[in-house]
Structure 1
């Protein structure tokens, strides 16, 4: 794998739910913020349908708070949530493209990172969720929209990010060395306590460590892999 291009100062990471970026990407985010890069998180939903034992009206605010704490653990303090897109039923279309385009033009990133939009996860296993597929595809399209002056022309001045990369892709092409940042990523995922406690009876810290270590691979040379689209 080639290194992901490093000619960036500002990054926008777009995902469907709180915790999506913590499944591996946050290790790269920790490396970027440590290097002085500005990173903004954009969450399309608040993950309100993600805890079976908790009503969405309670789960949404709780998961938003967990995401803000999780982002802060890897140096991200600009965390934004869209309204009007419901967890579990996100629709890929003009409304979502417009909302993401607006944030791209406001943040004006050099690099946009989004999550796997393919039908399957890395390794070709497991069916990817409808929300992930919809948000990933809409984010890619919104980057193109953001650079075109006459598309959503009421949503700010056009801006074309230099790169867009897809995390957790089944077709990775580039990687980021996250040596020294795995612990920050574990701490970041562990902030999603209510969500992880609902997933398993295993201690939260153990769950977080197992997930992050699986995502970054060899502990002697941990890497986060991306599919670089341009």
Structure 2
């Protein structure tokens, strides 16, 4: 009797590097820090421009804080967190945290931002029902991720949301890829090593959120979470700790 050959996991390909501008679109403060801030640090080091767009201010994210107090606090944490990895442009759409609705209003808002920032690469977070297996994703992540994938095309069509042109936002059909962080089926990756320390410090800027989430020491929590995530992708990326993405070409 012969044993079945062991199937090797498909290797992750390096992310494209022939681009200059990126726009990252997520639902909440901290979504990018849990997902891909390490990659962003490397990109900004290389002279690329990255802007952040948050659909909410995360006002429903801390059980012990009223939304009117929590929202401004989490906005401040997000701006400080972005600065750690070289991002100075952080914008908020003010959809309500926890009840973001997928639809034309959300697509229009994201398409407007794409037209404004004119990125070649758009980044978002997992838009699928689960994180792989039986861990259920949140409605906000699903809505924003899916709307971002759709808005990448909407932004280039002059007949979809023509009111944007009336606001001085001309169509932008220059999005070449949408990269989804946190996907259970990644296809590409970025070496996490150069940006790892700053990714830890970036996540640590969300201290109020982390302290409301866990009793573990915040720095230990950040290092463990990000380090383990990066190491999971190493087997498929030449042994190098990596930030993984599912890349959709356009």
| TM-score, length-scaled by structure 2 | 0.89
- Look up the match of 1:144: 153
- Written as runs of structure 1 = structure 2, the 5 A alignment for 1:1-230 is 1-83=12-94, 85-121=95-131, 123-155=132-164, 156-160=169-173, 161-217=175-231, 221-230=240-249
**Partner SS for 1:39:** strand
Report the CA distance between 1:181 and its aligned residue.
1.1
List per-residue Cα deviations over 1:27-75 (Å, max 9, x = no partner): 0000100010000000000010000000000000000000000000000
- 1:48–1:59 contact (8 Å) kept in structure 2: yes
Unaligned ranges ≥5, structure 2 = 1-11
Runs of 4+ aligned structure 1 residues displaced above 4 Å come to: none
Question: Could you tell me how far 1:178 is from its partner in structure 2?
Answer: 2.0
DSSP 3-state at the match of 1:67: helix
Distance 1:208 1:60 in 2: 22
What CA deviation, in whole Å up to 9, does each residue of 1:182-213 have, x standing for no partner?
00000000000100000111111111111111
**How far did 1:81 drift?**
0.4
Instruction: Answer whether contact 1:117 1:132 (CA < 8 A) is retained.
Output: yes
Indicate if the aligned counterparts of 1:30 and 1:75 stay in contact, CA closer than 8 A. Answer: yes
Which has the larger Rg? Answer: 2
Structure 1 runs not aligned, ≥5 long: none
Q: Indicate if the aligned counterparts of 1:166 and 1:226 stay in contact, CA closer than 8 A.
A: yes
| Separation in 1, partners of 2:217, 2:193 | 25
Hey, what's the Cα distance between the residues in 2 that align with 1:41 and 1:228?
A: 18
What TM-score results when the alignment is normalised by the length of structure 1?
A: 0.96
Alpha-carbon shift at residue 163 of structure 1 (Å): 1.1
Aligned length: 228
What is the deviation of 1:21?
0.2
How big is the alpha-carbon RMSD for the aligned residues of Structure 1 and Structure 2? 1.2
Secondary structure of the residue aligned to 1:124 is: coil
Q: Is the 8 A contact 2:35 2:125 kept in 1?
A: no
Q: Deviations over 1:110-164 (max 9, x none)?
A: 100000001111x434110010000000011111100111111221111121111
Q: Is the 8 A contact 1:24 1:185 kept in 2?
A: no
